Amino acid sequence: MEGGGGTPPEILEESQSGCVLPSSLGANSLKKSSWGFLFTGIVGGTLVAVYAVATPFLTPALRKICLPFVPATTKQIENVVKMLHCRKGSLVDIGSGDGRIVTFSQYSNVIIFGVPQMMPRLEEKLALELQDDARVIACRFPFPRWTPDHVTGEGVDTVWAYDVSSVRGKRS
């Protein structure tokens, strides 16, 4: 096929095992191997990125009590501030946490954005740890056994204020 413009004849190489292989097979194999590494890297990197982004959103669903992220409304914040008006002392906002790692005895004001499933246990913990002059403000859901001293707002903006002295039957 001289001068025919066809593909050049393959050059044959003898491998150490004595087999004769076309030399072009080694080059193609190397190119395929490079693409395989690149493809594996892209897929692996994508999976790591998806895991890193999704984990903060998925792990709350794996808790014993699911605590979804629901941002407070402006009106709800106004209602909380109204309930704190003229109050003195330290404040802790445990958000939608269940209070397991908080020692409440040092706080005079506690704000909680809870869900119904967690409120009974948190109610007990707060009753044990808070001082008589403390106030607890519950947003969205009230405590099941406590009677609120003040209620303001309506619907999802409702806020319940509990004075611990009232909860314990010690009116000041």
What is the phi/psi pair of residue 105, to 5°? -60, -20
Q: What is the CATH number of domain 74-167?
A: 3.40.50.150
Angstrom CA distances, 78 to 15, 116, 136, 148, 158, stand at: 81, 22, 16, 18, 11
Q: Which two tokens stand for residue 99?
A: 């209070």
Reported confidence tier of residue 35, pLDDT bands at 50, 70, 90: confident
Rounded distance between C-alpha atoms, residue 76 and residue 53, angstroms: 29
pTM of the model: 0.61
Residue pLDDT, tens place only, 93-134: 987 665 667 889 999 999 998 888 889 999 999 999 999 999
Residue pLDDT, tens place only, 76-95: 999 999 999 999 999 999 87
Domain ranges of the chain: 12-62, 74-167
Rounded distance between C-alpha atoms, residue 30 and residue 46, angstroms: 24
Reported confidence tier of residue 64, pLDDT bands at 50, 70, 90: low
